[in-house]
Amino acid sequence: MRRSVPSFADRRIGEERNSEMGYLRQKKILNRGELERSESAVPSRVGFLERWFKISRLSYPVPPHARMLPYTLGGITFVGFLLLFVSGLILGQFYNPAPESAYESIKYVVKEVPGGTFLRAFHYWTAQAVVFVLLLHMLRVFVTGAYKAPRLFTWYFGVVLLATTLLGSYFSGTVLKWDQESFEALAHYREGLRFLGPIGEFIGSVEAVPLN
């Protein structure tokens, strides 16, 4: 009788389970008395943080597999979104959304605002990095089988976030410049929505993109 060779995903799940079991064994070693002593050892300068947020409880054993780079891609993506939010908020203070004035406002940011060129470039390249890292994160989750129950809801949320990032934020950032590239990108986007039929009409109505 031939023995079946476990797939990469099955081996990875087995490794995660073993590491999680080891993590739980380490966690059981900490009893209530040790936890209270660790809380009392918090410096007084952060005492109010301890009282409100119990930051000492963040000190716990981390499973070995969770320390690897592929398992930090989700956190990197989250930090990227925060950076995009902050840089976009600053850029929005100088941006004029009117089609006839949008491009001129961007030129003003680049030429007149101190650090405007760096800020716009930072926002642009952070957006590229977020899309790339998010795709890698989704690929890692799929290959390792981490999307299966009980994480199905998290997987569906990630898929929606990916679609929102690509079709919403990433695309809108291209169009908002209202230069030649923006007009061409919008024309291609309209053709893509027309190709999708009723689904494209629904997406266009949600995004206020006329198809005619």
Q: Both 157 and 88 in a single domain? A: yes
Q: Both 94 and 166 in a single domain? A: yes
pLDDT digit string (tens) for 76-125?
A: 999 999 999 999 999 999 999 888 889 999 999 999 999 999 999 999 99
Q: Which of residues 19, 45, 65 is at a domain's end?
A: 65
Residue 139 covered by a domain: yes
Contacts 24+ apart (CB under 8 A), 81-87: 81/130, 83/122, 83/126, 84/123, 84/126, 84/127, 84/130, 84/169, 87/119, 87/122, 87/123, 87/126
Q: Which domain holds residue 23?
A: 8-65
Least confident window among 55-69, 98-112, 150-164: 55-69
Q: Which of residues 45, 65, 85 is at a domain's end?
A: 65
| Number of domains comprising the chain | 2
Q: For a pLDDT cut of 70, what percent of the chain falls above it?
A: 69
pTM of the model: 0.66
